[in-house]
Structure 1
């Protein structure tokens, strides 16, 4: 059976962070990954962000780069403003291979990034000859800006929980590949060479959620996207996401969202 997915754009685009949460806070807070590089630039407000199963706080003037396929979710309350840069699946910009959380404290690089983002958006909105090439060239400069800011960041001190964080990162990476398979936490733990109890303990330490909660969060996020962006029958969505029955899917969905799949689709 072919995998079903909402149709998603793959081009370069800039999205205001408040707009990302306009369809519901689940669109930013639930664990998910995208298949293109992503830069989050927060200019106002604060909250928590979870990347690869590890949670930390963010504030204004934080730039967070997330590579393709890395699971993440973040709070985007009414006081949070900023821009998300989706680089597109086929971008040729040189970008980091790992996630980075940059706290930009100096005024000049803050202004530099704001000007670059304004310029890219202006070129994307333009009809002048070569506007698309101009936007891509400015995006290349954004890649250079990222490289330089990463080089300036002080190295983080080793933490006692490094082994736990690495395990949780491995879990979320495996989960992102296999969340449709019907695997449970015990199956993931076995694949990672640990016990389910140890995996859950590490997840709770890293992000305050159990391994099962992270798994359900990812599956239900995908379900909500399919329900809101496609007309695929509920039974097919349940099968696609590895639930043993449509009834079990409905119970799990209602437990997380407070609504049945059909009710959620109608409300959207």
Structure 2
């Protein structure tokens, strides 16, 4: 019996701990998803990789991760918050900008918390019209996010390093399964691998090669966890030269073979 796979067909409210039901790798490895994601931090601290940059966060930080954007989360002890997944029907990933904010006003904080609490209630009780209610509440939440972003303003300029890190993260999200190496991506961005590595490390805390590896590993572990796709097909889908090379990749980064990793995930369920 398969685990329940993440869905992108409807609005879903969850908590930070529920983002990683199988293991911390589900949020700690850099990856992208098919849904827009809004995160509201209510307690604790942590770090988020967002839009090619690493941010530290705490209570009353609000961030928006567009569908198709590379991201990861590292949660500190006792970190808690709410998350809303919002489907992107058109699947366009390049028309919206990630947002990272600190909401300082007590009234604004209370309103965001109210919207999320009401979304959770509608999802839990599923009374008549609950789906329409969730859609309306999510729209209001998105409007509040845009207003808060407008009020905070945006930097007039971003550095060349930020632009390069953002461009590389976007490439990784779009092309990670095509078999391209970090050096191939550097060439496409017209920089040397050394320069790309140095910039990514400074902006994200991770090397360029690590970002690519994490994206591949996240997809591999997700497919092994949530599907019965044969291992050789997963290897081909993710751009590996052979099933044997894929097996070495998984074993190197998890200490388990793909088949054992799949079995372990099912046992955890």
TM-score, scaled to structure 1: 0.90
C-alpha separation in 2, matches of 1:138 and 1:176: 29
1:177 aligns with 2:174: yes
Contact 2:50–2:70 at 8 Å: present in 1 too?
yes
Instruction: Measure, in 1, the Cα distance between the counterparts of 2:56 and 2:41.
Output: 12
Counterpart check, 1:40 vs 2:36: no
Is the 8 Å Cα contact of residues 18 and 78 (structure 1) preserved in structure 2? Answer: no
Count of aligned residue pairs for this structure pair: 257
Residue deviations 1:72-116, cap 9 Å, x none? Answer: 00113441111110011239xxxx821110101221111101111
1:20-35 aligned at under 5 Å gives the runs 20-35=19-34
**How far apart are 1:249 and its partner, in Å?**
1.4
Q: Secondary structure at the match of 2:10?
A: coil
In 2 relative to 1, CA 127–35 (structure 1 residues): closer, same or farther, beyond 3 Å?
closer
Q: Distance in 2 between matches of 1:75 and 1:17?
A: 11
Look up the match of 1:207: 204
Summarize deviations over 1:151-196 as a string: whole Å, max 9, x none: 221544756xx21111111111111111111001111111111111
Unaligned runs of 5+ in 1: 1-5
Calculate the aligned-residue CA RMSD, in Å.
1.8
Q: Is this contact kept in 2: 1:21–1:76, CA < 8 A? A: no
Distance 1:155 1:232 in 2: 44
Matched residue, 1:3 = none
Partner of residue 71, structure 1: 70
The answer to whether residue 249 in structure 2 is matched with residue 238 in structure 1 is no
Task: Give CA deviations for 1:110-160 in whole Å, capped at 9, x if unaligned.
Answer: 11011111112222333433222222122221122112111221544756x
Match of 2:261 among 248, 259, 264: 264
Pairwise mapping of residues 1-268 of structure 1 onto structure 2 (< 5 A)? Answer: 8-90=7-89, 97-156=96-155, 162-268=159-265
Range that drifts further, 56-65 or 117-126: 117-126
Q: Which runs of 4+ in 1 moved over 6 A?
A: none
> What's the TM-score, normalizing by structure 2?
0.90
Q: Do the aligned residues in 1 keep the contact of 2:49 with 2:72 (CA within 8 Å)?
A: yes
Q: Distance between the aligned counterparts of 1:7 and 1:135, measured in 2?
A: 18
Give the whole-Å Cα distance in 1 for the aligned partners of 2:13 and 2:77: 19
Distance 1:52 1:209 in 2: 13
Q: Is the 8 A contact 2:8 2:86 kept in 1?
A: no
Consecutive unaligned residues of structure 2, counting only runs of 5 or more, are none
